[in-house]
Amino acid sequence: MIDYSKVLSSTVSEMKPSGIRKFFDLLQGRDDVVGLTVGQPDFVTPWHIREAGIDSLKDGKTYYTSNAGLEELRVEIANYLERRFSLKYDGASEVIVTVGGSEAIDLAVRACVEPGDEVIIPTPCFVCYEPCVRLAGGTPVILETKAKNNFKVDPEELRALITPKTKMLVLAYPNNPTGAIMTKEELEEIAEVIRDTNIVVLSDEIYSELTYGRKHTSFASIEGMHERTIVASGFSKSYAMTGWRMGYIAAPKILAKQMLKLHQYVIMCAPTTSQFAALEAVKNGDSDIEMMKEEYDRRRKYLLKRFAKMGIECFEPEGAFYAFPNIGKFGLSSEEFCERLLNEYKCAIVPGNAFGETGEGFARISYAYSIKHIDQALDRIEEFVKTI
Amino acid sequence: MDKILNLLEQNATYTVEQLAAMCDRDEDELRATIDKYEKDGVILGYQALVDWDKTDREYVSAFIEVKITPKHDFGYDKVARTISQYPEVQSVYLMSGVFDLAVLIEGKTLREVAYFVTHKLSTLEDVMSCSTHFVLRKYKDKGVEYRVPDADIRGEL
Ligand SMILES: Cc1ncc(COP(=O)(O)O)c(C=O)c1O
């Protein structure tokens, strides 16, 4: 019989499954559970965007596109980045259309990171950076952001972690799971720390359109940072297009060229139907973003108001569609809290430690749900916390 | 324009407490505002959208194009208001184009609707002609699709 332990890569075998999944799986097939676990929009992709995808199929556009993606789409992404975030990229040579922001992250890491390299990852954060770094043979170095700093990267703490081996810094703002953002001034302080180094920044800006109050500042727009920033972004969150698997990379030509090689060999090109839909989205979707954002903002405000009434401390999330309340005062670990909430009150949320050790004492609550659904879940949380 | 009106139009079950929190408004102020909308006839009611086809209620509905006899010095309001009085009439619109009023009517049976048209509507003094279109199936009303909502099968990493 084959010995699978000899077959499988130890790097992969040792990789832990995502901690979000664990809780998500627990509630599958249980319609008595009200969950706030999902990290994707509850809107359906706006019709004009879906229609553009459908029309492309009707017109027989079923071929591979060029490896980097439809040129028109890349040019429109560049226009969009300039229009929305004052970024300047050449669509023809500095934009790669990827299979979601997920592939964009993987390309950026693998194009830069080699065995021995260190990648600084501020946590709590989305779950994919660490495994991507490990797959590339790199060493993740965790920067623990703090609730007292509103989960922003502290420049001095960053400086302390930099070594001659530091290859890359991940910045993921607006942040999943905390909803934190970083302002232009705060990013400028980060820029000061790395300005004279050879550290490249992977800026995951997938939630860039979902900020409440202030407009998002891209790290690439900070003075002098364009040359060292790889912007990974996509269509999933801003246009409610998760299922289309559409993302992109924007980076200086020399970096883009190498990432494109990887993308060519591994993916060939992003799905063509989705590219046509995405083209419609970047060209004519600004008002859809606005509509969805307003709705998220109302839910966000409602959620915060209810937490305040329940006496649960929650720093004000200014981006994405998550709140990250502090559940430390209830004297349970995040996992215990979430497990008991699920078992005793049939409400599912994700324990904060699924996003890194620093998330301990917190829980992620997604508000990509209707107010009615959010209300039901919060009623259960309220009942639960009364008993502990 | 007040956003509250859009929100209530989308979902009349929002409570004042929810709306106030969602829109950063004071609850008492909002309650007074909504009261005033009701008093002034800006908000006229709060209703559920029911798909009667999914119930055992006997139900038919029809759109009727109504032409009004042209008269000197004549307004449509009087006849439209008169037609509106019938409880089986759901909506009445004044239209541009080849007919004048669009009337949506509901009844238990085809015969009941036919009776209303032949005996009540078309006999009104100012009504010149009626053209009745029975509704075969409703797909969307008030911005809402008439189908069973999809289950939430969104995945997660
Ligand atoms: C911070 C962050 N980055 C990237 C992604 C990947 O999204 P996608 O591959 O759908 O573009 C997600 C999805 O949840 C995310 O939260």
CB proximity list for A314: less than 8 A, separation 6 or greater: A303, A304, A307, A308, A323, A324, A325, A326
Q: Which among A285, A300, A320 is the end of a domain?
A: A285
**Contact by Cβ (8 Å): A15, A134:** yes
Q: Check which CATH number belongs to the domain holding A338 and give it.
A: 3.90.1150.10
User: To 5 degrees, how large is the angle CA B80–CA B81–CA B86?
Assistant: 100
Whether A263 and A303 map to the same domain: the answer is: no
b/e sequence B100-135, b meaning 16+ C-beta within 10 Å: bbbbebbbeeeeebeebbeeebeeeebbeebebeee
Chain A residues with CB under 8 Å of B154 CB are 38, 40, 42, 242
> What is the pLDDT confidence band of residue A29, given thresholds at 50, 70 and 90?
confident
> What is the pLDDT confidence band of residue A25, given thresholds at 50, 70 and 90?
confident
Nearest CA residue ID for atom 7, ligand 1: A101
**Interchain CB distance below 8 Å, B14 and A306:** no
Whether B88 and B112 map to the same domain: the answer is: yes
Whether B136 and B92 map to the same domain: the answer is: yes
Handedness of CA B80, B82, B83, B85 (dihedral sign): positive
Residue B61 belongs to what H/E stretch?
A: strand B60-68
A101 lines ligand 1 (CB under 6 A): yes
User: To 5 degrees, how large is the angle CA A54–CA A60–CA A63?
Assistant: 105
- For residue B14, how far is its CA from the centre of ligand 1 (angstroms)? 31
Whether A175 and A254 map to the same domain: the answer is: yes
Chain A residues with CB under 8 Å of B153 CB are none
Residue to test with chain B: of A298, A303, A314, A373, most B Cβ within 10 A: A298
Please give the pLDDT value at position A20.
Answer: 78
**Contact by Cβ (8 Å): A245, A270:** yes
Phi, psi (deg, nearest 5) at residue A366: -90, 135
**Residue A248, pLDDT above cutoff 80:** yes
Pick from A35, A55, A33, A53: nearest CA to A45: A53
Whether B22 and B67 map to the same domain: the answer is: no
Please give the pLDDT value at position A26.
Answer: 75
How far apart CA A259 and CA A359 sit, in angstroms, is 32
**Residue A110, pLDDT above cutoff 90:** yes
Task: Out of A206, A274, A366, give the residue to mutate to test ligand 1, the one with the largest number of ligand atoms within 8 Å of its CB.
Answer: A206
Structural domain boundaries enclosing A347: 4-45+287-387
Please give the pLDDT value at position B156.
Answer: 80
Q: Which among A225, A259, A285 is the end of a domain?
A: A285
End-to-end CA distance of chain A: 52
Each residue's pLDDT tens digit, A345-377: 999 999 999 999 999 999 999 999 999 999 999
**Measured between alpha carbons, how far is residue A387 from residues A69, A307, A309, A310, A335 in Å?**
55, 16, 16, 13, 17
Please give the pLDDT value at position B74.
Answer: 67
Whether A81 and A200 map to the same domain: the answer is: yes
Residue B104 belongs to what H/E stretch?
A: strand B101-107
Q: Check which CATH number belongs to the domain holding B122 and give it.
A: 3.30.70.920
Q: Check which CATH number belongs to the domain holding A160 and give it.
A: 3.40.640.10
Phi, psi (deg, nearest 5) at residue A370: -70, 155
Q: What average pLDDT does this structure show over A24-42?
A: 87
Q: Mean pLDDT for chain A?
A: 96
CA distance A372 to chain B (A): 8
The verdict on A42 touching B (C-beta cutoff 8 Å) is: yes
Q: Is the peptide bond before A124 cis (omega within 30 degrees of 0)?
A: yes
Whether B29 and B61 map to the same domain: the answer is: no
Whether B102 and B137 map to the same domain: the answer is: yes
Low-confidence ranges of chain B (pLDDT < 70): 72-74
**Contact by Cβ (8 Å): A263, A56:** no
- For residue A37, how far is its CA from the centre of ligand 1 (angstroms)? 14
Please give the pLDDT value at position B157.
Answer: 74
**Interchain CB distance below 8 Å, A371 and B156:** no
CA distance A28 to chain B (A): 9
How far apart CA A312 and CA A330 sit, in angstroms, is 10
> What is the pLDDT confidence band of residue A69, given thresholds at 50, 70 and 90?
very high
**Interchain CB distance below 8 Å, A39 and B157:** yes
Whether B30 and B75 map to the same domain: the answer is: no
- For residue A248, how far is its CA from the centre of ligand 1 (angstroms)? 11
- DSSP β-ladder status, A118-123 and A139-144: parallel
Each residue's pLDDT tens digit, A286-301: 999 999 999 999 999 9
Whether A67 and A143 map to the same domain: the answer is: yes
- Which residues on neighbouring strands pair with residue A144, listed in sequence order? A123
CA distance B1 to chain A (A): 15
Structural domain boundaries enclosing B58: 52-141
**Contact by Cβ (8 Å): A110, A135:** yes
Whether B91 and B121 map to the same domain: the answer is: yes
How far apart CA A32 and CA A377 sit, in angstroms, is 11
- For residue A299, how far is its CA from the centre of ligand 1 (angstroms)? 21
Whether B24 and B94 map to the same domain: the answer is: no
Please give the pLDDT value at position A19.
Answer: 78
**Residue A22, pLDDT above cutoff 90:** no
Each residue's pLDDT tens digit, A293-326: 999 999 999 999 999 999 999 999 999 999 999 9
**pLDDT above 90 covers what percent of chain A?**
95
- Which residues on neighbouring strands pair with residue A326, listed in sequence order? A313, A362
pTM: 0.94
Whether A342 and A235 map to the same domain: the answer is: no
- Which residues on neighbouring strands pair with residue A347, listed in sequence order? A34
Q: Is the peptide bond before A351 cis (omega within 30 degrees of 0)?
A: no
Of B125 and A120, more confident: A120
Each residue's pLDDT tens digit, A136-191: 999 999 999 999 999 999 999 999 999 999 999 999 999 999 999 999 999 999 99
Of A38, A301, A372, nearest to B154 by CB-CB distance is: A38
